[in-house]
Amino acid sequence: MKVGESTQFQRVIGYFHGTIFLFSIIIGAGIFVAPKGVLKYSSLNVGVSLSIWAACAVVSMLAALSHAELGTTFPRSGAQYYFLKRSLGPFIAFFYLWTNLFSTPAGIAARGLLLAGYIMQPFYPGCFVPEMPKKCLALAILWCLGILNARGVKEVTWFQTVSTAVKMTVLGFISVTGIVLLVRGRRENLARFEKAFDADVPDASQIAEAFLQGLFAYSGWGVLVRIAGELKSPSENIPKCVVTALTLVALIYLLVNVSYLAVLTPKEIMSSDLILLISYVGFTDWIQLGLMMVGLLKLRFQEPNLSRPYKVRLPFVFGTMAISLFLVLTPIIKSPQIYHIYVILFILSGLLFYLPFVHFDLGSTYFNKITCFLQLLLNVSPADDIDEYISTGGKVQKNPPATATKK
């Protein structure tokens, strides 16, 4: 690359590859643990539980379609942070980073513990896996994945392909087994589906908690923001990729849940060490998503001429905002839990860092040296200044004068 040139995304991903990529990212370890949480907060009501799984697919579609506008409008790494800073100011953007600093590792930890638990369970038949060996194995798995990511894109792509094939093989086996048992029509396998809605009906706060558990299994759709700037014809392909991928995922998830219930009773399915951690991650994620929808609406009015290769319909934005409010506020109002207090205190604790180091800019020289050292150590560099250039259809385009000439 010549001096003075800027690195821009090229739109090279079509509908097929975009759908496959989104599908492979969403299908993950969540489906092996989320059914437990959904059943728990559905009051062991099989009919309500399966309905929530289907509804989670629709909610995820709304959220993904709304969220994708950020990736096409600001096609860069860290688009969410830049978007929040531009639309709602540095205060909200800082708290987005502050929350992610812990919620993202928490989500990774949940998946690592889940995978380690399933790997070790055959060695402890009839009892729970001891916590210490499980945590050690989970840590080893995370270290291996970190080293693999550091080696380069080729190795990561190979691993992604293999892991997706393994996950689909396992889920396919589970689904086929459940279908065969139901077709054979044995009484004990059909019992859970007879009068499925006759059990206790959960209240509003329980339904919200059940949604947070189910949405954890669909949560990979956020990756769309990272590739939205590289999709061909984004206004056409983004909705098609989202709807196709999430419809396939929903079908697989429903079949897997039916298979679980064909073999196990709801009480046998429900035991887990991870339900609370999933609730925490989902709670913080939907706070962030609600703020992004507010920022999206504000930016629509604040900068109407901003280039938007993909523009989501406003009813989808309002729908996502309403769902966010329901999932965040209903549990707090109806049945507050101790982890809600922990989350709120954790978010507010960010003020201890924001006020001195961001607002009053204390020690900026010292932190700049640390940042420079880490960039050299980790072989990373700052992104191009998005205030000056935004890629549109693979070309470099200056921002509108109202933004670009600001002094």
What is the rounded distance in angstroms from the CA atom of residue 94 to the CA atom of residue 352? 12
Mean pLDDT of the chain: 79
Q: How would you class 181 by CB atoms within 10 Å of its CB: exposed for 0-12, middle for 13-18, buried for 19 or more?
A: middle
Rounded mean pLDDT, 16-29? 82
- Residue of higher predicted confidence among 56 and 70: 56
What is the rounded distance in angstroms from the CA atom of residue 279 to the CA atom of residue 213? 6
Domain boundaries, the chain: 15-338
Instruction: Band the pLDDT of 364: cuts 50, 70, 90.
Output: confident
Predicted local confidence at residue 236, as pLDDT: 82
96 close to 354: Cβ distance less than 8 angstroms = no
**DSSP secondary structure, 218-240, as one string:** TGGGGGHHHHGGGBSSHHHHHHH
DSSP structural state of residue 273: S
Instruction: Band the pLDDT of 388: cuts 50, 70, 90.
Output: very low
pLDDT greater than 80 at residue 313? yes
Instruction: Band the pLDDT of 171: cuts 50, 70, 90.
Output: confident
From 1.20.1050.10, 3.40.190.10, 1.20.1740.10, 3.40.50.300, which CATH number describes the 15-338 domain? 1.20.1740.10
Rounded mean pLDDT, 207-224? 87
Q: How would you class 403 by CB atoms within 10 Å of its CB: exposed for 0-12, middle for 13-18, buried for 19 or more?
A: middle
Which is nearest to 41 in space by CA: 272, 197, 270, 328? 270
pTM to 2 decimal places: 0.79
Rounded mean pLDDT, 263-270? 65
- Residue of higher predicted confidence among 326 and 266: 326
pLDDT greater than 50 at residue 214? yes
- Residue of higher predicted confidence among 56 and 237: 56
Rounded mean pLDDT, 178-186? 74
Q: What is the pLDDT of residues 95-144, one digit of tens each?
A: 888 888 877 787 788 778 878 887 888 788 777 788 898 889 989 988 88
Q: What is the pLDDT of residues 251-263, one digit of tens each?
A: 999 888 888 777 7
Amino acid occupying residue 112 = G
pLDDT greater than 60 at residue 400? no
